[in-house]
Amino acid sequence: MNPYFNIVMPLMIALLVWGGYALVRRTRERRTAWESGLTARARVVRAWATTQMVNNVARRVQWHEYDYTTGDGLAVRFKESGGPRDRAGGEEVLVYYTPADPEKATACEPQPGKDTAGMVFGLFFIGAAVIAILYAWTTVPEL
């Protein structure tokens, strides 16, 4: 078997595992922020969109940067992806945060069921990809 094959396959698996970890981590951060009960009025500092090409299909990701002040008077600025496209700079929105990590706030409305379903679907997809890579890695004949 080609030695590069033995390097690329574990790297692909590691990248997928890291993506799964990041997905679970952000879902837990959002849920913790929603469950904390702490909210603040935030101002949209700027809004922009990025485009990714995946299999010749453009995927648009909306980004927002927010500024808010916690109940303790701490000024916080954070970025978040996936917000509404019509949210423009200068608008005021409600953000949810935790006192321990105010920079991991979210401006998304609480939707724990939808968030969990998205995480489960993402982890299912990642798991299927890892299994497919492991299967291909172990069954591909020597070149």
- The owner of tokens 């991991």 is 104
Radius of gyration of the chain, Cα coordinates, nearest whole angstrom: 20
**pLDDT more than 70, % of the chain:** 98
Q: In one letter, which amino acid is 120?
A: V
CA distance 66 to 92: 9
Q: Whose CA is closest to 87, among 111, 65, 60?
A: 65
Q: Whose CA is closest to 44, among 87, 73, 74?
A: 87
For the chain, counts of helices (H) and of strands (E): 2, 4
Half-sphere exposure of 25 (CA within 13 A, CB side): 7
What pLDDT was estimated at residue 1?
Answer: 56
Confidence of residue 127 (pLDDT cuts 50, 70, 90): very high
* Total-model pTM: 0.80
Structure tokens given for 105:
């706030």
